[in-house]
Amino acid sequence: MDLLRFITAGSVDDGKSTLIGRLLYDSKSILADQLEALEKQTKNKDAGEIDLALLTDGLRAEREQGITIDVAYRYFSTPKRKFIIADAPGHVQYTRNMITGASNASLIIILVDARNGVAEQTRRHSIIASLLKIPHVVVAINKMDLVEYSQDVYNNIVIDYAEVARQLGLEQVTYIPLSALKGDNIVEKSEAIDWYDGPSLLELLENVETKQDTNFSDARFQVQLVIRPQTDELHDYRGYAGRVTSGVYRKGDAVTILPAGITSTISKLEAGGEERDEVFAPQSVTIHLADDIDISRGDTIVHSSNQPAVQNELDVLLCWMDEKPLQPGNKYYLQHNNRLVKAVVRQVDYRLDVNTLQQLPVEGGVKLNEVVKATIKTASPLAFDAYAKLPSNGSGILIDETSNSTVAAVLYQ
């Protein structure tokens, strides 16, 4: 059994909450007492069936206003897979939340209202999927019951979206006509949509191939902390603890420690306290080196034959996430996985319209939810890859020095 993390993009109006509610309900992940609480709440509203959307509204303010403010995580499993859903709001003022939810997803479900077709927000969600390189895109054409399950409506939306996918370079796109409210093509294949011969949504989620999503060719590892027990029996023990974010490491590999550029050899590998001959992504491991070198948190250990860039000037895309606007010239901390360095945003080149991909001039500061192309200079060099090539070593966050808030997602170009 393996694990699939996915995000659902869409707003309440598209039936996103109903879709998730339906997935949980029809896959029997909702238990009797949770259902009872739901029925109790539904009674106060319109009569009729229970309101599945209520299942996913977490906080009191959200329930009162009938909206989703923040990313919520939901869990369900089938005998084939465990699923983690990042349930993120879809309106433009919540782009920040969507990027947060999308950052760990390997699949995105983009909800399209069959009555409206490809809309502005469909484009925006697709642009975010392409910026963040989410490997799999599922276009869920919802509310088919409201267009009389028309194959023509479906076909036209597929044609329209294919053009969006082409422009954005989205490769693995799957289309499913469904009705979250009626349960058509969610878990069971729909009888009303007999002209569609693809899988139901759950069948697709269970079977989508994820092996290629992890890069096993470019090995990257950052030191989280140095383990030195310094007891009598472990006097000389010195292990570098961290996570293999991509690739494979083997005992005897010739490695280089970055940014210093010192070389050594892997003398021992451990995972969970046990010795291993090889370790691979995404394991948490401990690496030992043949030479006594001064290594600390944030240093990167890579194969000498396959190294990332080491620079202190970076071209980046910034997704701004703070109420306080970005002022070019301001100093921040840049956290690149386990490495924290001081950084200054030197120059902001242009703003990317997340609805159209147009490059627009930046006037004044960069505001919440805006995506810009910028140049960052760091106080010491960073060992990084381009996000497009290796997201796990191509991303960082900016932290405000004074408020300590996370103010931006950083994607290295």
Applying CB under 8 A, which of residues 116, 172, 307, 335 lies at the interface with other proteins?
335
Cβ-in-10-Å burial (0-12, 13-18, 19+) of 33 comes to exposed
Under the criterion CB under 8 A, does residue 34 sit at the interface with other proteins? Answer: yes
Nearer to other proteins among residue 190 and residue 246 (C-beta): 246
Query: Within 184-243, which residues bind other proteins (CB under 8 A)?
Result: 211, 214, 216, 224-225, 227-229, 234, 237, 241-243
Q: How far is the CB of 45 from other proteins (least distance, A)?
A: 14
Output 29 or 156, the one with its CB closest to other proteins: 29
Rounded to whole angstroms, the Cα distance separating 196 from 200 reads 10
Give the residue ranges of DSSP H helices in 27-150. 32-43, 60-65, 95-102, 120-131
Query: Could you say which of 12, 42, 67, 69 contacts other proteins (CB under 8 A)?
Result: 69
- CB of 63 or CB of 166, closer to other proteins: 63
Find, among 174, 161, 164, 159, the residue nearest to 357 by Cα: 164
Which 96-155 positions form the footprint of other proteins (CB under 8 A)?
96-97, 99-100, 103-104
Instruction: Please state, as a whole number, how many other Cβ atoms lie within 10 Å of the Cβ of residue 102.
Output: 24
| Residue 2 in contact with other proteins, rule: CB under 8 A | yes
Residue 257 host element (H or E): strand 254-258
What DSSP designation does 98 have?
Answer: H
Task: Single out the residue of 106, 129, 96 nearest to residue 397, CA to CA.
Answer: 96
Stretch of residues binding other proteins (CB under 8 A), selected from 138-146, 253-261, 365-373, 398-406: 398-406
Closer Cβ to other proteins, 150 or 338, answer by number: 338
Of the candidates 371, 369, 364, the residue with the CA atom closest to the CA atom of residue 411 = 371
Positions 35 through 64 that interact with other proteins (CB under 8 A): 37, 41, 57-61, 63
Instruction: Indicate whether 386 belongs to the interface with other proteins (CB under 8 A).
Output: no
Nearer to other proteins, 356 or 380 (CB): 380
Least distance from C-beta 96 to other proteins, angstroms? 6
Stretch that binds other proteins, among 109-117, 119-127, 200-208, 394-402 (CB under 8 A): 394-402
Our CA dihedral for 187, 190, 193, 196, rounded to 10 degrees, sits at 50
SS3 at position 94: helix
160/278 with CB nearer other proteins: 278
Pairwise CA distance, residues 376 & 348, whole Å: 9
One-letter amino acid of 273: G
For other proteins, the closer CB: 306 or 347: 306
Residues within window 263-292 making contact with other proteins, judged by CB under 8 A: 270, 272-273, 280-284
Q: Considering the complex, what minimum distance in angstroms separates the CB of residue 397 from other proteins?
A: 5
Confirm if 397 and 321 have CB atoms less than 8 A apart.
Answer: no
